[in-house]
Amino acid sequence: MADDEQSLFEQEMAGVVRLKHDERVRRGGPSESEQALAHRRQAAVTETAADPNTLSDREITPLDSWYVLEFKRPGVQNGVYRKLRQGRYEHEARLDMHRMTVAVARRELFEFIEQCHEYGLRSVMLIHGKGERKPEQERSAVLKGYVNVWLRDLEAVQAFHSAQPRHGGTGAVYVLLKKSEDKKRENRERFMKGRVPYDGGR
C-alpha cells in the first residue's frame, strides 16, 4: 500500500519544478550602527587625506634631560650656526610645549613652524622641558626625543641647538628657519633699490 501511495505521489508531482527565490533584500536600508561605522570610516579617510602634517607619530625613545640637541643642514654657514648655538639671535617667536601630550605637541609644533616660515621669521625657540623623574629611573625627556626627530623632518628647519642656560638650557632649543620666498623677494628688492645697473663704462 505504501508503494502505491509513493507511486501515486510521484505521478502527481511529475513536471513540477522548484520555485526560484529572489535574494533577500533588507528593508529600510542599513542599520544605524552600519551607517555610523561607514561614517567613521569615511571621516578617517578624509581626515588622513586632508592632514598636511608629515611628522612621524611612531614611538620615539626618550632622551636624557641633559642631552644637547644639535643639527645643521649642509650649506648653513659655520658662523651662522655658532651665533645660533650661542643664543645671539633674537627669538622672534616661541612655543612652550610643557605638559603637552605627544599628539598635541606634534600638531602644535608642525603648525608653529609652518606659520613662522610663512611669516618670514628666521629664529624661533621651542621649550620642550627636561622631562620627569620616575621612581628608580633617571630623568627622561619624552618630548625632547620627539622634537629632535621632528625638526629634522621639516624642510623649513635649517638648524637647531639646545639653548643657553639663560634661555632654559637643555629644556629648550633654538631653531633657525630658512627664508620664505616672500622674504627673499623683499630682500632682493631692498638690495636693488637705488642701485644703478652697470653699463660697462659707456
d(CA 62, CA 159): 21
Residue 180 domain flag: yes
Residue corresponding to grid cell 612655543: 95
pLDDT band of 160, cuts 50, 70, 90: very high
Q: pTM score, two decimals?
A: 0.65
Residue 54 zone, left/alpha/beta (φ > 0; ψ -120 to 50; rest):
alpha
Q: Is residue 122 part of a domain?
A: yes
By residue range, what is the domain housing residue 140? 63-185
Confidence at 150, pLDDT banded by 50, 70, 90: very high
Question: What average pLDDT score do residues 31-56 get?
Answer: 68
For 10, 53, 88, 172, 201, the CA distances from 144, given in Å and listed in that order, are: 86, 19, 22, 9, 59
Residue 137 is predicted with a pLDDT of: 47
Q: Is residue 190 part of a domain?
A: no
Specify if 194 maps to a domain. no
DSSP bridge partners of 140: 64, 132
**Which residues, at least 6 apart from 11, have a Cβ–Cβ distance to it below 8 Å?**
none
Helix (H, G, I), strand (E, B) or coil at 81: helix
Over residues 24-51, the mean pLDDT reads 61
In 128-193, which ranges are continuous DSSP H helix? 142-153, 181-192
Give the CATH number for residue 143: 3.30.1370.110
Q: Phi, psi at residue 59, to the nearest 5°?
A: -70, 130
Please indicate, yes or no, if residue 167 is contained in any of the structural domains: yes
Tell whether 58 is covered by a domain: no
Reading the block at residue 27, the C-alpha cell is 528593508
Task: Count the neighbouring beta carbons within 10 Å of the beta carbon of residue 64.
Answer: 15
State how far the Cα of 22 lies from the Cα of 25, in Å rounded to an integer: 9
pLDDT tens per residue across span 79-122: 999 999 999 999 999 999 988 999 999 999 999 999 999 999 99
With a CB cutoff of 8 Å and minimum separation 6, the contacts of 124 are: 91, 92, 93, 94, 95, 112, 113, 116, 174, 175, 177
Q: What's the domain count of the chain?
A: 1
What mean pLDDT is predicted for residues 39-44?
A: 67
Q: What is the mean pLDDT of the chain?
A: 81
Task: Select the more confidently predicted residue: 144 or 28.
Answer: 144
Higher pLDDT: 139 or 155? It is: 155
| Domain contains 144 | yes
Residue 46 in this model has a pLDDT that exceeds 90: no
CA distance 28 to 64: 60
Residue 147, domain member (yes or no):
yes
